[in-house]
C-alpha cells in the first residue's frame, strides 16, 4: 500500500523500531504525530516517568513533532491481563500480544488517529500491507528473523486499511544503520524488548502468584499421570505448566519427561516422552481471514503453531465453526490457547486459536 496521506499517527514506544518509523516518515515529508500508549506500569512509577514515555517524549522533541500519552492501563488490565490469567487458570496457554493488537493497540490507537485528525496509523512492526482488488493483504516483513506478521492475524480489514508498516521492507541491521544516520546512535545500541510487556522478568508463574489471590490454595496440587494412566507424582497447580515443558517437573523415571496434556476438569497433567508430543492435526476457532473472504475448500497452506516455529505444509478443512489443520508431517507440542497462523507463500491468509480436542 503506498503512502498517499499527509498526516500520520506514529505509535512510539521509545524503542529503535518505532523511533526509526517516525524518522523515516518525517524525512519523507509527512506530518507526524507521536503517541505513546501505556498499558502496564510498575506500581511505584508515575505514568510521565515511565521509561517508554520519557524516551518517546525526548525523541519527539528532537524530531520537532507533537507527542501525546494514552493511558490504557485500566482497559488493558480488564481485557488483556484478565484474558491472560483466565486462560492459564483454565489450563491453556494464552498469547497476550495477539489478543491485545486488535482491541487495545489498534482499537484505541485508531480512535486516537481520528481524534488527532490523522488519516493513517504507523507502527514499527516488521510486516507489509498491500491492497489487491479492494482487499488489504498482510504479508511477511523482508527480514525473516524479525517478521512479526504472526502476531497480527486478528487485525480486520478496516484496521489494515488504515495502517502502514514503514519497516516491512527493511532488515533489522538496516534499521540500526538508519538510527545512526539520523544521529541517534544510542538507539542502535538498544537491546531487543521482551515479548510480553507486563512480565518484564519473563516469569509468568510469579506474575500469576502476585495477581491471583490464594492461587496456591485455589489451584492446588493434582496428579501427574503417565500416558497410560499411571500415577507419577503430584503437580503444584495447573496454571504453572505448559505443553512441552520439561524443566521443573521434579519427577524422575530414568528418562526425560514432558508435559503432553493438561486436564483442567480432572486437575491432572499427563507426562510423556518427546515422541508423545508429536501430533499431525489440530483444530482452531476464533478464525480471522485476511487474504480471502472465505477459506478455499481443502486448501493447502503453510501453518505456524508458534512465533518461532517453522511453517509446515498443511491441509485446512472447514468443520462447522472450526477449521481442522492436518500437517504433512508431525509437529511437536501443539498448545491449546496459542495461535495457528497460515500462509500462502509470503501472504498471511488467516489464523485461529488452537483448541483442546
pLDDT over threshold 90, residue 157: yes
Q: Is residue 349 part of a domain?
A: yes
Q: Is residue 210 part of a domain?
A: no
Q: Is residue 204 part of a domain?
A: no
Residues 159 and 23 in one domain: yes
Confidence class for position 10, pLDDT limits 50, 70, 90: very high
Residues 31 and 66 in one domain: yes
Residues 120 and 105 in one domain: yes
Residues 257 and 282 in one domain: no
Torsion of CA 122, 123, 125, 131, to 10 degrees: -20
How many CA atoms lie less than 13 Å away from 170 in the CB half-sphere? 17
pLDDT computed for residue 194 by the predictor: 62
Long-range contacts of range 343-346, CB-CB < 8 Å, 24 or more positions apart?
343/140, 343/301, 343/302, 343/303, 343/304, 343/311, 344/291, 344/301, 344/302, 346/139, 346/140
Residues 178 and 32 in one domain: yes
**Looking at the annotation, which residues are catalytic?**
100, 197
pLDDT in tens, 56-66: 999 999 999 99
Contact predicate 259/248, CB 8 Å: no
CATH of residue 66's domain is 3.40.50.620
What is the mean pLDDT of the segment spanning 261-273?
A: 94
Residues 230 and 326 in one domain: no
Contact predicate 354/305, CB 8 Å: yes
Residues 285 and 145 in one domain: no
Neighbours of 9 (CB within 10 A): 25
CA distances from 217 to 128, 209, 236, 238, 291 (A): 47, 11, 10, 12, 46
Residues 94 and 228 in one domain: no
Residues 183 and 313 in one domain: no
Q: Is residue 196 part of a domain?
A: no
CATH of residue 312's domain is 2.40.30.10
Confidence class for position 123, pLDDT limits 50, 70, 90: very high
Q: What does the alpha-carbon distance between residue 47 and residue 52 come to, in Å, rounded to a whole number?
A: 9
What is the mean pLDDT of the segment spanning 23-44?
A: 90
pLDDT over threshold 50, residue 1: no
pLDDT over threshold 70, residue 204: yes
The domain of 288 spans 277-355
What is the mean pLDDT of the segment spanning 348-353?
A: 97
Q: Is residue 208 part of a domain?
A: no
Count of domains for the chain: 3
pLDDT over threshold 70, residue 207: yes
Provide, rounded to the nearest whole percent, the portion of the chain with pLDDT above 70: 97
Query: In the chain, at which residue ranges do the beta strands (DSSP E only) sit?
Result: 7-11, 31-38, 67-71, 120-122, 127-132, 135-140, 163-164, 222-226, 231-235, 258-263, 268-272, 278-289, 299-304, 312-319, 322-332, 339-344, 347-355
Lowest mean pLDDT among 72-81, 109-118, 167-176, 198-207: 198-207
Of 69, 13, 73, residue with least CA distance to 40: 73
Return the exposure string of 174-199: e unless at least 16 CB atoms fall within 10 Å of the residue's CB, then b: ebbebbeebebeebbebeeeeebbbb
Residues 182 and 110 in one domain: yes
SS3 77: helix
Query: In 72-151, at which residue ranges do the beta strands (DSSP E only) sit?
Result: 120-122, 127-132, 135-140
Residues 334 and 264 in one domain: no
Q: Could you tell me the strand order of the sheet in which 67-71 lies?
A: 67-71, 31-38, 7-11, 120-122, 163-164
DSSP string, 167-198: TTTS-HHHHHHHHHHTT-HHHHTPPPPPS-TT
Confidence class for position 46, pLDDT limits 50, 70, 90: confident
pTM: 0.91
Of 229, 251, 273, the last residue of a domain is 273
Which has the higher per-residue pLDDT, 118 or 180?
118
Amino acid at each position: 500500500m503506498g503512502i498517499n496521506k499527509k498526516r500520520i499517527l506514529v505509535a512510539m514506544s521509545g524503542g529503535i523500531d518505532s523511533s526509526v518509523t517516525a524518522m523515516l516518515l518525517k524525512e519523507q515529508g509527512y506530518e507526524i504525530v507521536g503517541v505513546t500508549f501505556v498499558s502496564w506500569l510498575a506500581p511505584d512509577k508515575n505514568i510521565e516517568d515511565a521509561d517508554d514515555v520519557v524516551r518517546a517524549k525526548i525523541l519527539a522533541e528532537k524530531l520537532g513533532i507533537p507527542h501525546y500519552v494514552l493511558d490504557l492501563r485500566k482497559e488493558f488490565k480488564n481485557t488483556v491481563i484478565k484474558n491472560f490469567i483466565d486462560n492459564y487458570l483454565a489450563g491453556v496457554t494464552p498469547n497476550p500480544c495477539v489478543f491485545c493488537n486488535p482491541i487495545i493497540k489498534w482499537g484505541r490507537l485508531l480512535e486516537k488517529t481520528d481524534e488527532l485528525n490523522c488519516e493513517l496509523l504507523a507502527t514499527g512492526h516488521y510486516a507489509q500491507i498491500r491492497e489487491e482488488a479492494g482487499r488489504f493483504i498482510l504479508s511477511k516483513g523482508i527480514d525473516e528473523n524479525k517478521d512479526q506478521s504472526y502476531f497480527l492475524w486478528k487485525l480486520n480489514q478496516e484496521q489494515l486499511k488504515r495502517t502502514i508498516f514503514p519497516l516491512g521492507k527493511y532488515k533489522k541491521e538496516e534499521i540500526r544503520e538508519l538510527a545512526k544516520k539520523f544521529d541517534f546512535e544510542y538507539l542502535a545500541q538498544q537491546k531487543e524488548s521482551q515479548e510480553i510487556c507486563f512480565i518484564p522478568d519473563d516469569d509468568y508463574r510469579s506474575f500469576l502468584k502476585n495477581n491471583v489471590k490464594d492461587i496456591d490454595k485455589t489451584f492446588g496440587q493434582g496428579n501427574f499421570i503417565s500416558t497410560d494412566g499411571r500415577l507419577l507424582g503430584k503437580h503444584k497447580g495447573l496454571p504453572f505448566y505448559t505443553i512441552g515443558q520439561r524443566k521443573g517437573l521434579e519427577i524422575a523415571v530414568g528418562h526425560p519427561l514432558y508435559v503432553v496434556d493438561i486436564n483442567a476438569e480432572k486437575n491432572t497433567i499427563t507426562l510423556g516422552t518427546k515422541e508423545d508430543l508429536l501430533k499431525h492435526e489440530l483444530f482452531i476457532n476464533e478464525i480471522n481471514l485476511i487474504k480471502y473472504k472465505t477459506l478455499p475448500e481443502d486448501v493447502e497452506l503453510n501453518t505456524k503453531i508458534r512465533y518461532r516455529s517453522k511453517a509446515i505444509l498443511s491441509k485446512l478443512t472447514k468443520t462447522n465453526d472450526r477449521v481442522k489443520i492436518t500437517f504433512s508431517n508431525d509437529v511437536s507440542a501443539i498448545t491449546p490457547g496459542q495461535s495457528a497462523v497460515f500462509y500462502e507463500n509470503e501472504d498471511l491468509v488467516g489464523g485461529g486459536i488452537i483448541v483442546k480436542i
